[in-house]
C-alpha cells in the first residue's frame, strides 16, 4: 500500500507543489488547512509523513506537534529562506527533518521518502528519537548490519545498547539464526569460559557431560558480549582468538571448533580507559574498535523526551489496560528538565509507574516523584559520608538518585493504597496441603516487588492488593520435608516469573547480587528455561 503524506497549507503555493510531487511519486496525499485541523486529519489519514509547509515560528506549534506526533509518523518542516538556524528550529520542534525554502519539489519528496524509511526502521528496531545523535546511530546500524564485522556499542547504562545489538542482528542476513546475549559481568569468572566455549565431559569437577558453549550455539548468527570490559584477561585472549581465527577449543578439548559468528560487544564504561588502565588487552581493544556506535545519554538529547514519554505511556496504557489521556505540559517540562542518570530505562520505568498510578489517567506535575521534579533544578553533588572517596560523580549521583526514586515510589504507592478500597486475598493452604498429600505445617510467603514491605505469616497470608497491580504476587509454599535448597529454588523461580524472566529485576527482588543469582540458577538448573 502506498505511503501517506499529510500536507499543511500555511504556505499554499509550497503545499500545492509538494502535493503534486508526492502524488506523482506514488504517495497518497491529504491537504489540511492548518495545524488546527491536524489532529482529526491524523486520525482519519494515519499518515507516514506530515509536511509542514510553513508557520514554523508560530507560537504554539511545538505544543500542537507534541500532541499529535506518533512514533510511526515522520515530520518535515519547510522553513523560510531567511531562517538563520533551521536545524535548531527543527530540534526545538522535535521535527524529523527541515528544508529551507525555496526547496525544489523533488528535493522535498526525496527527503520525505528518506524520513519515512527512517521512521519505519525505528518502528522495526524500537530505537526511537529524532535527535541527531540517535539518527546517526540508526544510519550506522543500517550501514553495519549487512556485513559481518565486529561492532562495539558504547553508552551509559540504559541508553539502549542491547536494543542496538538486536537491531544489527535483525537487519542482517543472519536474522533467521540465533542471537545470543551473554552478560560477561554477571557470570562468575570461573564459569565464563565454559559458558562461552563449552566444555568436554570430565574437563573439570562437575563437567559430567559435554556442553556446547554460546559461540557454538550462535553459529551462523550473532553473539552479544555485554559488559565486555569486565571480562577476565585470560578469557579475553580466547575471545580475541575467535575474532581472528574464527575458531576455538572447548574447555578441556583438543580439536579446534570452527564457527561463523558475528560479535557485537558492549560496554557502559569507556573501553579505551579500561585498556589504558590494563583491564582490557590492547590487542582486543583495537580488534573490537573497528566499527563502533556511541549512544548518547538521555540528558544530552532531552528533545527526545516527549516522544519517548508518549510512546511509553501508550505502550503501558495498552499493556495494563489503563485509561490514559495524556500528560500535561507542566509535567512534560519537568520530565524534560530531569537529568535521567538511568537514561531511557529510568524514564521508561517511571512512565510505567505513572500510567498505572496517575488518577483519572492524566499525568500532572504533582504525579511526578518529587526527586525527579527537583533534580532538574538542582545540581547534585550529593555527599554520602564514607562513600565519596570510592564512588564519585555520575555513578554516585545515579546510586543516590535511584535510592531516592525508590523511596519516593514506595511512599507514593502507600499513599495511594490508603485511598483505594482494599481487596484482601486469602490463601487457604489447607486445601493445597490436602491435594499435595502433606498435612504438615505450611508457611506461605510472598515474593515482593522491590520497595514493598516483606510479608509472610504462618498458615495464612493477608495481603491487601491494589486493584491496579499489574501482576499478582508470586506465592512460595513451604511444605514439610522441603529442604532449604528447595525453598530457595522455588523462591528464585517465583521471582523470575514475577519479573517475567528479567534476571536483574529478580536479583533485586530477592535482595541478592546478579552474580549470585546466576550461580544459583546454574546450581538449581533454572538457567535452561529462564530468559535473561
Ligand X SMILES: Nc1ncnc2c1ncn2[C@@H]1O[C@H](COP(=O)(O)OP(=O)(O)OP(=O)(O)O)[C@@H](O)[C@H]1O
* Beta carbons of 360 and 322 less than 8 angstroms apart: no
Minimum CB distance to ligand X smaller for 160 or for 341:
160
Least Å distance between CB 266 and Mg ion?
Answer: 6
Contacts to ligand X by CB under 6 A:
126-129, 134, 155, 157-163, 268, 344-345, 348
Tell me the residue nearest to Mg ion as measured from the CB. Answer: 162
Q: How far is CA 447 from CA 329, 476, 486, in A?
A: 38, 7, 15
Q: Which stretch binds Mg ion (CB under 5 A): 83-91, 156-164, 437-445, 459-467?
A: 156-164
Least Å distance between CB 181 and Mg ion?
Answer: 8
Question: Would you call 291 helix, strand, or coil by DSSP?
Answer: strand
Binding partner selected for residue 345 from Mg ion, ligand X, none, CB under the kind-specific 5 to 8 Å limit: ligand X
Least Å distance between CB 122 and ligand X?
Answer: 8
* Beta carbons of 251 and 200 less than 8 angstroms apart: yes
Binding partner selected for residue 159 from Mg ion, ligand X, none, CB under the kind-specific 5 to 8 Å limit: ligand X
Least Å distance between CB 522 and ligand X?
Answer: 21
Nearest to 468, CA basis, from 401, 524, 411, 422? 422
Binding partner selected for residue 196 from ligand X, Mg ion, none, CB under the kind-specific 5 to 8 Å limit: none
Minimum CB distance to ligand X smaller for 52 or for 308:
308
Least Å distance between CB 453 and ligand X?
Answer: 27
Nearest to 336, CA basis, from 55, 66, 98, 156? 66
Is position 162 an interface residue for Mg ion (rule: CB under 5 A)?
yes
Is position 514 an interface residue for Mg ion (rule: CB under 5 A)?
no
| d(C-alpha 146, C-alpha 142), whole Å | 8
Least Å distance between CB 303 and Mg ion?
Answer: 24
Binding partner selected for residue 157 from ligand X, Mg ion, none, CB under the kind-specific 5 to 8 Å limit: ligand X
| Residue with cell string 528519537 | 129
Q: How far is CA 314 from CA 163, 325, 327, 387, in A?
A: 19, 9, 11, 40
| d(C-alpha 68, C-alpha 62), whole Å | 10
Minimum CB distance to ligand X smaller for 195 or for 226:
226
Binding partner selected for residue 163 from ligand X, Mg ion, none, CB under the kind-specific 5 to 8 Å limit: ligand X
Minimum CB distance to ligand X smaller for 56 or for 151:
151
Least Å distance between CB 402 and ligand X?
Answer: 12
| d(C-alpha 287, C-alpha 281), whole Å | 10
Tell me the residue nearest to ligand X as measured from the CB. Answer: 160
| d(C-alpha 60, C-alpha 374), whole Å | 26
Strand stretches in 385-484, DSSP E: 423-426, 443-447, 456-458, 462-465, 474-478
* Beta carbons of 249 and 200 less than 8 angstroms apart: no
Binding site for Mg ion (CB under 5 A): 162
Amino acid at each position: 500500500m502506498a505511503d501517506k503524506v499529510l500536507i499543511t497549507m500555511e504556505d499554499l503555493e509550497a503545499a500545492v507543489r509538494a502535493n503534486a510531487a508526492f502524488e506523482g511519486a506514488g504517495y497518497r496525499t491529504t491537504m489540511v488547512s492548518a495545524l488546527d485541523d491536524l489532529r482529526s486529519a491524523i486520525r482519519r489519514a494515519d499518515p507516514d509523513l506530515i509536511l509542514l509547509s510553513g508557520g514554523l515560528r508560530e507560537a504554539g506549534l511545538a505544543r500542537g506537534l507534541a500532541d499529535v506526533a506518533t512514533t510511526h509518523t515522520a515530520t518535515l518542516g519547510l522553513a523560510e529562506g531567511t531562517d538563520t538556524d533551521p536545524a535548531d528550529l527543527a530540534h526545538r520542534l522535535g521535527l524529523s527533518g527541515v528544508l529551507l525554502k525555496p526547496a525544489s519539489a523533488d528535493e522535498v519528496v526525496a527527503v520525505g521518502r528518506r524520513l519515512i524509511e527512517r521512521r519505519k526502521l525505528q518502528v522495526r528496531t524500537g530505537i526511537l528519537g529524532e535527535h541527531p545523535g540517535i539518527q546517526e546511530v540508526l544510519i550506522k546500524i543500517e550501514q553495519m548490519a549487512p556485513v559481518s564485522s565486529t561492532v562495539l556499542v558504547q553508552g551509559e547504562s540504559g541508553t539502549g545498547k542491547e536494543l542496538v545489538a538486536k537491531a544489527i542482528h535483525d537487519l542482517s542476513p543472519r536474522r533467521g539464526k540465533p542471537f545470543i546475549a551473554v552478560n560477561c559481568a554477571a557470570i562468575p569468572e570461573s564459569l565464563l569460559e565454559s559458558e562461552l566455549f563449552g566444555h568436554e565431559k570430565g574437563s573439570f569437577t562437575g563437567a559430567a557431560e559435554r556442553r556446547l558453549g554460546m559461540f557454538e550455539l550462535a553459529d551462523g548468527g550473532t553473539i552479544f558480549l555485554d559488559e565486555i570490559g569486565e571480562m577476565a584477561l585470560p578469557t579475553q585472549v580466547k575471545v580475541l582468538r575467535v575474532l581472528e581465527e574464527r575458531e576455538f577449543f572447548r574447555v578441556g578439548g583438543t580439536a579446534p571448533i570452527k564457527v561463523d559468528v558475528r560479535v557485537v560487544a558492549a560496554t557502559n564504561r569507556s573501553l579505551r580507559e579500561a585498556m589504558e588502565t590494563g583491564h582490557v588487552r590492547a590487542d582486543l581493544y583495537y580488534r573490537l574498535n573497528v566499527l563502533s556506535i556511541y549512544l548518547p545519554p538521555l540528558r544530552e538529547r532531552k528533545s527526545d523526551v516527549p516522544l519517548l514519554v508518549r510512546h511509553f505511556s501508550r505502550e503501558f496504557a495498552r499493556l495494563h489496560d489503563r485509561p490514559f489521556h495524556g500528560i500535561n505540559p507542566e509535567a512534560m517540562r519537568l520530565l524534560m528538565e530531569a537529568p535521567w542518570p538511568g537514561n531511557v530505562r529510568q524514564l521508561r520505568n517511571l512512565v510505567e509507574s505513572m500510567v498505572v498510578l496517575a488518577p483519572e489517567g492524566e499525568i500532572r506535575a504533582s504525579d511526578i516523584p518529587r526527586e525527579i521534579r527537583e533534580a532538574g533544578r538542582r545540581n547534585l553533588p550529593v555527599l554520602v559520608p564514607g562513600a565519596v572517596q570510592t564512588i564519585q560523580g555520575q555513578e554516585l549521583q545515579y546510586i543516590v538518585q535511584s535510592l531516592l526514586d525508590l523511596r519516593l515510589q514506595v511512599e507514593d504507592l502507600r499513599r495511594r493504597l490508603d485511598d483505594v478500597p482494599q481487596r484482601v486475598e486469602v490463601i487457604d493452604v489447607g486445601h493445597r496441603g490436602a491435594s499435595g498429600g502433606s498435612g504438615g505445617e505450611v508457611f506461605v510467603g510472598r515474593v515482593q516487588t522491590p520497595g514493598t514491605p516483606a510479608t509472610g505469616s504462618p498458615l495464612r497470608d493477608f495481603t491487601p492488593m491494589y486493584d491496579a497491580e499489574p501482576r499478582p504476587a508470586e506465592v512460595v509454599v513451604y511444605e514439610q520435608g522441603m529442604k532449604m535448597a528447595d525453598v530457595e529454588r522455588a523462591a528464585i523461580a517465583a521471582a523470575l516469573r514475577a519479573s517475567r524472566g528479567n534476571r536483574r529485576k529478580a536479583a533485586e527482588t530477592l535482595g541478592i547480587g546478579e552474580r549470585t543469582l546466576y550461580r544459583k540458577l546454574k546450581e538449581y538448573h533454572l538457567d535452561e528455561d529462564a530468559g535473561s
